[in-house]
A and B are shown apart, each in its own frame.
Chain A
Amino acid sequence: MDSTDNNKILEVKNLKTYFYTDGGVVKAVDGVSFDLKVMETLGIVGETGSGKSVTALSILRLIKQPPGKIVEGEILFNGNNILDMNIRELQDFRGNRISMIFQDPMTSLNPVFTVGNQIMEAIIAHRNVDKKTARIESYKLLEMVGIPDLKRRFTSYPHEFSGGMRQRVMIAMAIANSPDILIADEPTTALDVTIQAQILELMEELKEKTNSSIIIITHDLGVVAKYADRVMVMYAGKAVEFSDVGTIFYKPCHPYTLGLMESITRLDETKREQLKPIEGTPPSLIDLPEGCVFRLRCRYAIEKCRKEYPPFVEIEKGHFAACVRAQEFLSGSLSRVKK
């Protein structure tokens, strides 16, 4: 990716994160490159095992070692490589410059401490403030994320909160030190539809207020369509397509992106008799097929796909794809999903 753009706050180059298991080497993330601009929302889309969560964990170096290991690549935050940081620098960095929200707000909060305590902890860990200031800050944060009945809630334990409320608390903790980047890993998957809408709106609102960038990891194309500026589609540990949201939805140039668009059920269409699924199942990350990883499920596969994994190249300005036939999709000589 060219680095002429000074706007980039995060740049990931050729990231490879492998897990060494009994069964063999799991190539969870295998050569992923992307960048994140200031105040941008980047959506990372993919199915289970596509490597989207591992990518996020790698950015914060939260990969547990063993069995995991970041074997290659660079993760540049404002030009500094996160992979070169020592433990102290890393501790100072996590939760401070980049913070993360996880899918399950129950397991991400410690059940034996009150919610207020945990937020204060997050503040004190990174800022040199006394308890009183931290308490006042915590109140402000909880108010900001829309926790009602603050006084009582401050001294409550996580299990006394509903799923949505817990996720609000997680968000409050994540933004406690006004980080530059907020990574949200399936933040609403465990929540109900109406609560999901509340949380996503809240994140959008906070992004405006705090001028931060967001990486949102999800399998929900609707969420991406609504909130993301740019989208990276992942499959079997690789980035297959990366562009602005409009291009991804209206002009996809990778058969996997295309397949995803066609296979989803949508609220805004009349009943279809048959859906158009992507046949087959994702390959085992231990034993990837030779050539293109998507080849075995691809309707457009040709002889060339067998030979080698196609490089992830810029097929038009700001539009990257890893498919030997991407140009054909782009020029329209191969038919695509209709809008």
Chain B
Amino acid sequence: MTDNNKLLEVKNLKKYFNLRGGFLFQKSQGTVKAVDDISFFIRKGETFGLVGESGCGKSTTSRVILKLTAPTSGHAYYKGEDIFKMNNHELFKMRREIQIIFQDPYASLSPRMTVGDIISEPLEIHRISDKKSRISKVKELLKTVGLNPEHINRYPHEFSGGQRQRIGIARALALTPKLILCDEPVSALDVSVQAQILNLMNGLQKEFDLTYLFIAHDLSVVKHVSNRVAVMYLGKIVEVANSEDLYKSPLHPYTMGLLSAVPIPDPEAEKQRKRIILEGDVPSPIDPPSGCRFHPRCPNAQEICSKSEPELKNYDLSGNEHLAACFFAGKPI
């Protein structure tokens, strides 16, 4: 903990799921290593992007940080204090400061509660102000996220996807948190609405001095919002860098493949672009490949890659940080 600016620091976090079968006497049928020894930190006021394909463990990471599911091992320091060592009371207090926004605006709001109920629930739980001032607070929040405060008594299904996502954001803002974990907040939305939500989140970040952990699979969105980005593959972080550096000069072959796989909305440029198509499927996290987990799909793989696991090392000599976990980092494919 040398950097005082670190709002959240995750160290050697592991989350394994045991697959169980049978009924009364359940036996283990293997372990899913959803998150396997990852470390990163988030500075106050920045947006830290976490990208990867489905099953890479990015969503699990956010759930574990919030202790919605218990970690297998590791630490998560919020303002220097280990979340995993907090007692119930401390945890309850911490929940005021760390909030989460979910991907699916249809699943993340209870269909039987009015918008007013949904947004005032956090205030109720934390016993903040009386009922009357709660209502005015909710109305204020609705205005903040760009919704009509008159709609306080409506049900979620009366809103469009984008509006529902705004409701989710209002709920997250209710307790004036410091850190918001955004789990694919725009991937279920249409493009024109995505831009609205991204702009809203950008505005809120400035207005309320928020820090974001932005989890997404859409690289162009992550690039747009993030200061720094970490790329995950099969439960591991394979590369971390400033947003611009990562996109301009990726070091890890997986990052290169990922960037290349995204088609650019520009027909001329797209014709000239040489694409790298990564072969094969993402292997199962139940029995991940030995050594570097990416080696079966990696065009650059050598013998060493299947034998030992590369460490996440800094390759930037100019004082910035550009970490990659590859024996042949930077080698073009």
**A residues touching B (Cβ–Cβ < 8 Å)?**
47-48, 162, 164-165, 192-198, 200-201, 219-227, 245-246, 249, 259-261, 263-268, 270-279, 281-282, 339
Contacts and interface: CB of A to CB of B under 8 A. Distances in A.
Interface centre among A220, A224, A263 (most CB of B within 10 A): A263
A261 B265 contact: yes
Given A192-B54, A225-B264, A273-B202, A267 B191 contact: no
Nearest to B52: A192
Contacts of B265: 221-222, 224-225, 249, 261, 264, 266
B263 A265 contact: no
Contacts of A259: 192
A275 B217 contact: no
Contact of B193 (A198, A200, A272, A281): A281
Interface in B269-307: 269-270, 275, 277-279, 281-282
Contacts of B162: 281
Nearest to B281: A162
Given A47-B191, A193-B217, A222-B264, 9 more contacts: A193-B258, A195-B282, A198-B278, A225-B263, A226-B267, A261-B265, A266-B264, A281-B160, A281-B193
Contacts of A339: 266
Interface centre among A195, A226, A245 (most CB of B within 10 A): A226
Contacts of A267: 219-220, 223, 247, 259, 262, 264
Contacts of A276: 195
B192 A245 contact: no
B244 A270 contact: yes
Nearest to A281: B160
Contact of B270 (A48, A192, A226, A273): A226
14 contacts: A164-B281, A165-B281, A192-B54, A193-B219, A194-B261, A195-B281, A198-B278, A201-B277, A225-B263, A249-B267, A259-B192, A264-B195, A265-B195, A277-B198
A29 B204 CA distance: 38
Contacts of B261: 193-194, 196-197
B190 A222 contact: no
Interface string B218-231: 11110110000000
Contacts of B193: 47, 277, 281
Contacts of A281: 160, 162-163, 193
Contacts of A201: 275, 277
Nearest to A202: B277
B305 to A, nearest CB: 18
B277 A197 contact: yes
A220 B220 CA distance: 12
Nearest to B200: A277
Contacts of A266: 220, 264-266
Contacts of B114: none
Contacts of A245: 267
B199 interface: yes
A268 B313 CA distance: 27
Nearest to B192: A278
A4 B196 CA distance: 44
B266 A268 contact: yes
B277 A275 contact: no
Given A274-B202, A275-B199, A263 B194 contact: yes
B268 A219 contact: no
B22 to A, nearest CB: 20
A339 B268 CA distance: 11
Contact of A268 (B196, B257, B264): B264
A48 B190 contact: yes
B209 interface: no
B224 A198 contact: no
Contacts of B268: 246
Query: 5 closest pairs, A vs B, by CB?
Result: A277-B195, A222-B263, A192-B53, A47-B190, A263-B195
Contacts of A249: 265-267
Contacts of B275: 197, 201
Contact of B196 (A195, A265, A279): A279
A222 B262 contact: yes
Contacts of B220: 264-267
A150 to B, nearest CB: 16
B189 to A, nearest CB: 9
B45 interface: no
Interface string B132-160: 00000000000000000000000000001
Contacts of B196: 277-279
Contacts of B54: 192
B244 A277 contact: no
